[in-house]
Amino acid sequence: MKRVYTGLRGRLIITFTLIAVTASALVAGIGYELVKRRVIDLAENVAVSEVRDTLEGIRVPIGALWPGDSPPTDVQISTLQKSLRVRNGGVVVRYETYLYPDGAFSMGNVPADLDAGATRRLVTKRQTINGRMWLIIGTPVWRIEPIHTAQPTGMTVFVFVPLTAEEQLLSDLRQPLAAAGAVMLVIALALALVSARRVLLPVRRLGSAARALGAGHLDTRLPVHGQDELAELTATFNDTAAALERSVSELRSLEAMSRRFVADVSHELRTPLTAMTAVADMLSEEADRLPPEPATAVRLVLREIRRLRTLVEQLIEASRFDSGTATLHVDTVNIADVVWDCLKLRGWSDQVRVNVPQGLAFSVDPLRFDVILANLVGNALRHGGPPVVVTVRSTANGMEVKVRDHGKGIPPTDLPHVFDRFYKAGARGDGSGLGLSIARANARLHGGTISVRPQDPGTLFTVWLPSA
């Protein structure tokens, strides 16, 4: 059974679906990344701006102490942490060799590259801590002297800004994007189905019309709609069908004329052949009393008259099959009697071995069965080698007749053509080349078959006839 997805309809739907899924994924992915970058950058810019503003306004005595200043106390450091801390965030301060962690946050949460860069300038990095996304801002603290010159203080701060709200926003954005992708997929499938129907309907009509042409309905035509490629293909199909109808009509006319000519000529030849046969019979009685040379000529004429009579009879029989006038007159007969009668009538009884069960009764047309058997046995005797064996047996649904000789056999190149009209295997013998084709036509008229295959040695012809 043909799978659905291997047809043109299935491939169109799959292609549309893949394009829709790819486009949806690209649009959703690019849109999500753009929004994500914008949201994160905005959060980062706000946090960095707040840290800078806070640090610019600090009053903690750190770095190169001025006259009367004392080193910052823990309370002052705590105040600085509090001023820099955002909601649910944390601040880690490092002053010279002192560390000031903030709750669960410590220098262990600061990446090494961020730590190294924060000693020279403000740097940022996003880091996942305990399954949550954080923005870490690291910066040295500078002190503006009275002459407005920035001096390093030896203090570095690391501000941990939570990105939970931004993550939630992005998470909430995924659902609408997924819904939009699903809607786009449904629309693409609907468009695929509609497009496949519009494309495949003319193709199906063309397929049905082609099958109708193959079945012999040569007047099949299709309506042409539109001016696209399918309309052009339909018009081409109509032109081709019309040309085919004309050609077939001409061929049928010529074939009918040829058959009628053969039939007419064959019938016209029967009358002079009858007279020639009567004269030949009289000459055959006098041939033995004639001188050698006239006797040889008479015998040659007699042989050729017999060949010509056989050829005419075979041509008439072939014309009956061609015109469809050949009929069966079925009767239940004893097959052994029919076989022996066929051999005795032609004088072949002593040259053929027969294996036929006594009492085997079967329904056949006796005259046509005789033609089949006579052609096969005569062919084996003329072109094969002894012994020639005829075997008949009953099968589950019919009867099988085998005729085998033990000669050189038919060349392999000739085997596929032995049932063709006027074909002579190896161009040998004096036959007409019609015998085996008439035998096959008679077997088919019974609803049976006839086949040939080589043996070692010889050739085997097998006839199978079905039960009535």
pLDDT, greater one: 135 or 292: 135
| Mean pLDDT of all residues in 410-424 | 83
Query: Which CA distances in Å does 417 have to 32, 423, 452, 463?
Result: 74, 7, 10, 17
Band of the pLDDT at 2, cuts 50, 70, 90? very low
Those residues with Cβ within 8 angstroms of residue 302's Cβ, 6 or more apart along the chain or in another chain: 280, 283, 284, 287
Q: What does 140-169 look like in DSSP terms, one character per residue? A: EEEEE-TTS-EEEEEEEEEEEEE-HHHHHH
Band of the pLDDT at 464, cuts 50, 70, 90? very high
- CA gap 267, 368 in Å, rounded: 20
Please say whether the beta carbons of 224 and 234 come within 8 A.
yes
- Range of weakest confidence among 58-67, 190-199, 316-325: 58-67
The predicted-structure confidence for 137-153, as pLDDT tens digits, reads as follows: 888 887 666 555 666 67
| Mean pLDDT of all residues in 148-168 | 76
> 136 φ, ψ to 5°?
-105, 125
Say yes or no to pLDDT of 63 above 60. Answer: no
Within 324-399, residue ranges assigned H as helices are 335-346, 366-383
Architecture (CATH level 2) of domain 218-326 = Orthogonal Bundle (1.10)
Residue-level pLDDT at 4: 47
> Angle between the 229-286 and 292-323 helix axes, to the nearest 10 degrees?
150
Percent of the chain whose pLDDT exceeds 70: 83
Q: Is 405 helix (H, G, I), strand (E, B) or coil?
A: coil
Residue 456 is given by DSSP the state S
How many beta carbons lie within 10 A of that of residue 156, not counting itself? 21
Those residues with Cβ within 8 angstroms of residue 101's Cβ, 6 or more apart along the chain or in another chain: 92, 107
- CA gap 387, 351 in Å, rounded: 7
Listed by start position, the domains of the chain span 1-56+167-217, 63-162, 218-326, 331-466
Measure the CA dihedral 146/152/155/156, to 10°: 120
Say yes or no to pLDDT of 450 above 80. Answer: yes
pLDDT, greater one: 340 or 414: 340
The predicted-structure confidence for 328-344, as pLDDT tens digits, reads as follows: 889 999 999 999 999 99
Percent of the chain whose pLDDT exceeds 90: 15
Residue-level pLDDT at 1: 42
| Mean pLDDT of all residues in 199-228 | 81
The predicted-structure confidence for 262-297, as pLDDT tens digits, reads as follows: 666 666 666 676 777 777 777 777 667 777 777 777
Structure tokens at 128: 């996942």
Within 57-132, residue ranges assigned H as helices are 74-84, 112-118
Architecture (CATH level 2) of domain 63-162 = 2-Layer Sandwich (3.30)
Identity of the residue numbered 4: V
- CA gap 122, 367 in Å, rounded: 115
The predicted-structure confidence for 17-27, as pLDDT tens digits, reads as follows: 777 777 777 77
- CA gap 144, 56 in Å, rounded: 9
Long-range contacts of 353-359 (CB under 8 A, 24+ apart): 353/387, 353/388, 353/389, 353/390, 354/389, 354/390, 355/389, 355/390, 355/391, 355/392, 356/390, 356/391, 356/392, 357/392, 357/393, 357/394, 359/334
Please say whether the beta carbons of 110 and 158 come within 8 A.
yes
Counting beta carbons within 10 angstroms of the beta carbon of residue 176, is it exposed (0 to 12), middle (13 to 18) or buried (19 or more)?
A: exposed
Residue-level pLDDT at 426: 56
- CA gap 313, 12 in Å, rounded: 62
Say yes or no to pLDDT of 303 above 50. Answer: yes
Residue-level pLDDT at 338: 92
| Mean pLDDT of all residues in 172-186 | 75
Residue-level pLDDT at 369: 93
Say yes or no to pLDDT of 308 above 50. Answer: yes
Say yes or no to pLDDT of 46 above 80. Answer: yes
Enter the pTM of the model: 0.46
Residue-level pLDDT at 9: 66
Average pLDDT of the residues of the chain: 79
Structure tokens at 281: 């019979």
| Mean pLDDT of all residues in 149-172 | 77
Fold of 331-466: Heat Shock Protein 90 (3.30.565)
Q: Where are the beta strands (DSSP E) in 232-306?
A: none
Residue-level pLDDT at 351: 92
Say yes or no to pLDDT of 390 above 90. Answer: yes
Residue-level pLDDT at 85: 83
